[in-house]
Amino acid sequence: MREYQENSVVQAIDRLSDSFHRLTLFAPRIAAAARPGQFVMASCGTTLDPLLRRPFSIHQAFADGALELLVKVIGRGTSYLSTLRPGAELSLIGPLGRGFHLTTHGPVTLVGGGIGIAPLLFLASHLPTDSKISTCTVLLGSRTNTDLLVLTEEFKQLGCQVRTATDDGSLGHHGFVSELLPAALPGAHMVFTCGPHAMMTTVARLCLDAGIRCEASLEAHMACGLGACLGCTIHGAGNTYRHVCKHGPVFDATEVAWTP
Amino acid sequence: MDTLTTAVPPEMKISLGPLHLANPVMTASGTFGYGAEFSNLVDLQRLGALVVKGISLEPRPGNPPPRVVETACGMLNAIGLENVGLDRFIHQKMPFLRTCGSRIIVNILGDSIDEYAILAEKLTLVTGVDGLEVNISCPNVKKGGVAFGTVPEMAAAVTRAVKNATDLPVIIKLSPNVTDIAAMAKAVDESGADAVSLINTLIGMAIDIHSQKPKLANIIGGLSGPAIKPVALRMVWQVARTVSIPVVGIGGIGTAEDAIEFLLAGASAVQIGTANFYNPAAAEQILTGIEAYLSRQGASSIHDIIGSLRTTI
Ligand SMILES: Cc1cc2nc3c(=O)[nH]c(=O)nc-3n(C[C@H](O)[C@H](O)[C@H](O)COP(=O)(O)OP(=O)(O)OC[C@H]3O[C@@H](n4cnc5c(N)ncnc54)[C@H](O)[C@@H]3O)c2cc1C
Ligand SMILES: Cc1cc2nc3c(=O)[nH]c(=O)nc-3n(C[C@H](O)[C@H](O)[C@H](O)COP(=O)(O)O)c2cc1C
Ligand code: FES
């Protein structure tokens, strides 16, 4: 496993909803090496301000060299990405970090909240086919229905059962996506989650209590993404510090100190 | 066209006292890990030297998160000198560093003069270590936490202790958080340092106005990146005209043009820090760019531009 610095070229940019943009990039070396749960560091501008690259989960990677990012605009870097047009160049470093560990052959449940859904599509498309058919349950949550319409269809096309929750009740359960988990837990061999920290905390606790293995993809502010700056720290279990870019971004739920 | 007129590539070798480097472009401590982190992205053999993350006698866990925050053309960090400690550095990090084809400078830090001296003594025995860089921007625990690098007498005492403990080349890395940088440089020069490097980060802070909390858990942190370049350049120029030993320029260098400014101001070498994060190719591009500049200037050697700033209009 190694990482590359690659000048990718934007092939397409799709606006899935008010907040989600999907960038399709041609990045053959990174796409070929990418594993579900890994991320890239993207240069979000061409000047010295903003200065640092931004981390993005790999949303999809294809054999033809296409690499997809799902981007939610929250600030200057992400808004720059949302304005890129086909043909534009985007410097990437990747694939980075430790991804999801597909150890189970039994049924799995994926829990994604908001932009945390991004890495789960790549994961769902890489689940072993024997466990995928009707045994992959995907719980998706977001603020409102438009964020989820396209993504729900794509998970279904992969053979997953999808249940949704929205903050405004416009699609599926009216409330938190983590509230859908207790009903989905019985029978699950493993749970994979990515989303807001509070949501993942609830998911991790439910799984730990039920004795079900859970992996969570965490976030931290990053300067390098390479394990060099030691900036991307989180509190790990047992009073340790862990670095999201190197030890993660995907952690076993038992490795993380979930209390704030 | 250029290549036709310059048959001989310019001489890039420089010396920091007894430490001889193939070229003046180094990577700065704390921004390049222990080398291996960049080995897939950078040709380490092309670096003049690789300066590793600061090492203390015992491992240090570092500060609570968040530890980094981006600022205008720069970043603040409060890593808290997290490092693997001397033993693990020697056993886990040196084997790779020995084989990477670059000169290795070990950056050391301590909270007492004794700790610096012990580190220097022990690292002298480690094969593959080509020099020491002494980070004196650390609090002296015995002197109420006043940073070694802010009092000339304390900086001088660390320099003497390290020099007495080793025969490796010793670079003292200066803190910019002082009133008179030239006085600090003079003190370490007179105490036997082989070279000085500057600047370390400038202390700063940032506040989140929505939560009304500091953006760093440590509240304050070190500012680095292009934002600090003018300050660093001024300090390098002041120090270069004060001391007799070589000066290594650090601070916001991201392009060959930036590096050349430091060389003109009197630096014999430069270190690339924060730029490694946003552009891992920076050090190699800077080296190539300096060579091209020398050729364009018709200069046969890097020494033709070191300190050749023209101050008369
Ligand atoms: C491993 C990982 C995977 C991610 N995957 C995705 C993804 O697939 N899609 C997506 O839209 N976003 C993802 N994020 C979050 C994304 O990195 C931030 O939204 C982005 O950095 C914000 O940049 P900005 O300039 O728009 O915002 P600003 O708030 O202006 O950014 C200022 C600084 O804070 C940092 N920052 C702000 N929010 C975050 C955050 N949540 N996580 C890390 N750094 C942050 C920025 O990198 C930058 O250095 C991921 C984060 C991590 C750590
Ligand atoms: C994340 C980070 C960690 C650093 N760690 C160290 C360190 O351990 N020891 C040290 O002497 N300097 C350390 N520095 C300072 C740099 O080596 C350099 O002096 C400073 O960042 C200014 O250069 P720059 O603007 O090119 O980054 C660190 C800087 C950064 C950004
Ligand atoms: S982002 Fe630099 S070590 Fe993780």
Rounded CA gap, B254 and B260, in Å? 11
Domain count, chain B: 1
| pLDDT tens digits for range A202-222 | 999 999 999 999 999 999 999
Q: Are residues A55 and A128 in the same domain?
A: no
Rounded CA gap, A151 and A140, in Å? 9
- B51 interaction partners in chain A (CB closer than 8 Å): none
Of A49, A53, A230, the CB nearest to B82: A230
Q: What is the CATH number of the domain that holds A8?
A: 2.40.30.10
Between the CA of A170 and the centroid of ligand 1 the distance, in Å, is 27
Q: Are residues A141 and A197 in the same domain?
A: yes
- B82 interaction partners in chain A (CB closer than 8 Å): 230, 241
- Within a domain: B115: yes
How close are the terminal C-alpha atoms of chain B, in Å? Answer: 32
| pLDDT tens digits for range B271-305 | 999 999 999 999 999 999 999 999 999 999 999 99
Structure tokens at A259: 């209390």
Chain centroid to CA A117: 5
Q: Give φ, ψ of A116 to 5 degrees.
A: -65, -10
pLDDT recorded at residue A131:
52
Domain that holds residue A65: 4-96
State yes or no: pLDDT of A239 exceeds 60. Answer: yes
pLDDT recorded at residue A19:
86
Runs of H (alpha helix) within chain A: 28-33, 76-82, 118-125, 129-132, 149-157, 181-184, 197-210
B37, B210, B211, B216: best to mutate for the A interface, most A CBs within 10 A: B37
Q: Are residues A85 and A175 in the same domain?
A: no
- Within a domain: A102: no
Residue A74 makes CB contacts below 8 A (sequence gap 6+) with: none
The pLDDT-based confidence of A260 (bands split at 50, 70, 90) is: low
- A234 interaction partners in chain B (CB closer than 8 Å): 65
Confirm or reject contact between B257 and chain A (CB < 8 A).
Answer: no
Domain closes at, from A35, A64, A96: A96
Q: Are residues A49 and A117 in the same domain?
A: no
Confirm or reject contact between A53 and chain B (CB < 8 A).
Answer: yes
Domain count, chain A: 2
Among candidate residues B39, B32, B278, B283, the one with its CA nearest the CA of residue A42: B278
- Within a domain: A223: yes
B73 has catalytic annotation: no
- Within a domain: B121: yes
- Within a domain: B211: no
Between the CA of A229 and the centroid of ligand 2 the distance, in Å, is 9
State yes or no: pLDDT of A129 exceeds 70. Answer: no
Atom of ligand 3 nearest to the CA of B37: 3
Q: Are residues A88 and A137 in the same domain?
A: no
Confirm or reject contact between A44 and chain B (CB < 8 A).
Answer: no
Q: Ligand 3 test: best mutation among A51, A241, A246, A247, most atoms within 8 Å of CB?
A: A246
State yes or no: pLDDT of A257 exceeds 80. Answer: yes
Dihedral sign, CA of B299, B300, B303, B304?
A: negative
Q: Ligand 2 test: best mutation among B196, B201, B235, B271, most atoms within 8 Å of CB?
A: B201
- The identity of residue B4, as a single letter, is L
Chain centroid to CA A102: 15
Domain closes at, from A96, A129, A160: A96
ipTM given for this complex: 0.95
Return the bridge partners of B97, or none: none
Runs of H (alpha helix) within chain B: 2-5, 85-88, 94-99, 113-124, 152-165, 181-190, 229-240, 256-264, 275-278, 282-297
Q: Are residues A245 and A188 in the same domain?
A: yes
- Within a domain: B6: no
pLDDT recorded at residue B7:
62
Q: Helix count (H) and strand count (E) of chain B?
A: 10, 18
- A3 interaction partners in chain B (CB closer than 8 Å): 40-41
- Within a domain: A19: yes
Confirm or reject contact between A52 and chain B (CB < 8 A).
Answer: yes
- Within a domain: B312: no
Q: What is the CATH number of the domain that holds A202?
A: 3.40.50.80
- Within a domain: B244: yes
pLDDT recorded at residue B139:
79
Q: What percent of chain A has pLDDT over 90?
A: 87
pLDDT tens, chain B, 313 aa long:
455 555 688 999 999 999 999 999 999 999 999 999 999 999 999 999 999 999 999 999 999 999 999 999 999 999 999 999 999 999 999 999 999 999 999 999 999 999 999 999 999 999 999 999 999 998 777 777 778 999 999 999 999 999 999 999 999 999 999 999 999 999 999 999 999 999 999 999 999 999 999 999 999 999 999 999 999 999 999 999 999 999 999 999 999 999 999 999 999 999 999 999 999 999 999 999 999 999 999 999 999 999 999 987 6
A2, A44, A48, A222: best to mutate for the B interface, most B CBs within 10 A: A48
How close are the terminal C-alpha atoms of chain A, in Å? Answer: 33
- Within a domain: A103: no
- Within a domain: A147: yes
Confirm or reject contact between B33 and chain A (CB < 8 A).
Answer: yes
Structure tokens at B206: 């940032």
Q: Are residues A44 and A15 in the same domain?
A: yes
Q: Are residues A240 and A114 in the same domain?
A: yes
Domain closes at, from A49, A69, A96: A96
Q: What is the CATH number of the domain that holds B40?
A: 3.20.20.70
Q: Are residues A200 and A151 in the same domain?
A: yes
- Within a domain: B166: yes
A40, A43, A96, A226: best to mutate for the B interface, most B CBs within 10 A: A226
Q: Are residues A160 and A200 in the same domain?
A: yes
Domain that holds residue B290: 14-62+82-205+225-304
Q: Give φ, ψ of A15 to 5 degrees.
A: -95, 105
The mean predicted confidence, pLDDT, of chain A is 94
Marked catalytic residue, from B21, B138, B172, B232:
B138
